Structure 1
Amino acid sequence: MSPDDHSDFLLSCRYGDIDDINAFIAHFGPAVLPSIRDDNANTPLHMIAANGHTDALALLLPLLPPALLSAQNASGSTPLHWASLNAHLPIAKALVAHSPGPGVDLIDIKNHAGRSPLGEAEMAGWEEGASWFVEVMNLGEGKGAEGASADEVADADDDAPIHLEIQDADGHIANLTIHDPPLPPILTSPLIIAHRPRSRTLPTSRGYRHLPFQKHPTPDG
């Protein structure tokens, strides 16, 4: 297979030409697909994701090793970065949902500019995609021991009783449990020690400036 064959196939992926993609696979076989990259280390998935070709993605995903979903180009960007930069939500969902694959871990990968796919969505002003990324990341936090989500566990902690140790002037300690009412002023004494679980606060992402959309991009990132 010549370099020209590589280039032609990448162009077919860029423009979503299903007939040419099928013809290439029929001639050379799927085993060669993971090795195809351009001079900037972009894979066929980068080209498809950047331009939103869901049919081409559905065709290639079963033929590619899962590791290729997290493949980074010369700028450190994955196919999900490019889908995010160009606001292709169906592509982003397909990449994250593909099994076997990295799943939600794809959202954590940062390029050389220090931006994750979520960061690219914010930079491009793509609110729908940014909201979806955050939702998926929160769901990926996992379940508690009783099957409750992390957020549900935190909410349960907020309603938990307050356990107090009260020390009088003679040094005697008494234990007290308060269920719902707020602490009365007298319990603000330095002699009172309150123990209550704290709920976890998730970090938020910073916003970035908007980048123009390109119909058939060849991004540097």
Structure 2
Amino acid sequence: MSSAPLPTPTPDELEDLIYFSRTGDLESLKDLITSLCANHSCPPSVVLASAIDVDEDGLGSQSSLLHYPAANGNTDVITYLVSLLTPSTILGNSVGATTADKSAPQLVNHSNVSGNTPLHWAGMNGHLEVVKVLVGAGADPSIVNAAGRDAVVESECSAKDGAAECADWMLKHCEGLERGVGANDTRNGDEEEAVADAADEDMVVEETSTEAANDADGQQT
């Protein structure tokens, strides 16, 4: 039995989904997701699974909607999006039990083009409450990015306020991480540069979000 295909947001719809996630406009995000669910006759988890930042050429950051509030520490948006990852039964067996819907919880561990998960971004930017929400939703802190670093190591290397606390919390509350930690004294120059590159990528996310928010404020009457 074949599963229903993922809906395809238009470029404008995808841009709006990403924008609202970045800027923390929770009400607009809810309204848009509700509208897309009605238009595509699917549960919100399927809409979320389809909203990956990929352009017409198959490029882009490949980030999910979870990445942006994770980077910016928006706990309300992360909590809302995570709540959508449970397969919905509202529409019954015709839609609520599709393979796409069941796979939606994997988004919490979705890696972008640099291999960073939302947990990488939350930890290295020092957002402990977001880290807790993601781990509670099944985020795996042992996943490594393109630089070969898991979320704990990236958090340990980050200069952002709160990042060290994120690393400590994950070490205390997540199993099997000891083997990936303790490399601070042995990390060579190439490794440090790779970590710095990953942190720079996330700075771009936060700066873009702030700029977008300022633009929105300037347009208000």
For the aligned pair, the TM-score class normalised by the smaller chain equals 0.5 to 0.7
**Partner residue, 1:129:** 166
More strand by share: 1
Write the deviation string for residues 6-46 of structure 1: whole angstroms up to 9, x where unpaired. 01110100111012101111210213111111111000000
Write the deviation string for residues 88-121 of structure 1: whole angstroms up to 9, x where unpaired. 00000110012xx3x5xx1100000011101111
Matched, 1:44 2:65: yes
Aligned residues: 153
Matched, 1:12 2:12: no
Distance 1:127 1:51 in 2: 17
RMSD: 2.4
**Partner residue, 1:32:** 47
**Partner residue, 1:95:** 134
Matched residue type, 1:121: S
Distance 1:56 1:108 in 2: 24
Aligned partner of residue 108 in structure 1, secondary structure:
coil
Write the deviation string for residues 100-156 of structure 1: whole angstroms up to 9, x where unpaired. x3x5xx11000000111011111104321121121123xx36xxxxxxxxxxxxxxx
Which ranges in structure 2 are unaligned for 5 or more consecutive residues? 1-8, 38-43, 54-59, 86-103, 185-191, 210-221
**Partner residue, 2:117:** 78
Write the deviation string for residues 164-199 of structure 1: whole angstroms up to 9, x where unpaired. xxxxxxxxxxxxxxxxxxxxxxxxxxxxxxxxxxxx
Matched residue type, 2:117: T
Matched residue type, 1:71: H
Which ranges in structure 1 are unaligned for 5 or more consecutive residues? 142-200
**Partner residue, 2:188:** none
Distance 1:204 1:13 in 2: 31
Contact 1:15–1:216 (Cα < 8 Å) also in 2: no
Matched residue type, 1:46: H
Alignment of 1:129-148 (within 5 A): 129-137=166-174, 140=175
Contact 2:155–2:167 (Cα < 8 Å) also in 1: yes
Over the matched positions of the two proteins, sequence identity in percent amounts to 34
Distance 1:76 1:6 in 2: 21
Matched residue type, 2:123: S
Larger Rg: 1
Matched, 1:113 2:115: no
Write the deviation string for residues 46-105 of structure 1: whole angstroms up to 9, x where unpaired. 01101111111111112122211111011111000010121100000110012xx3x5xx
TM-score where L is the length of structure 2: 0.62
TM-score where L is the length of structure 1: 0.62
Contact 2:108–2:118 (Cα < 8 Å) also in 1: yes
Contact 2:150–2:180 (Cα < 8 Å) also in 1: no
Distance 1:112 1:41 in 2: 14
* Structure 1 residue 205 displacement after superposition: 2.0
Contact 2:153–2:181 (Cα < 8 Å) also in 1: no
* Structure 1 residue 204 displacement after superposition: 4.1
Matched residue type, 2:170: F
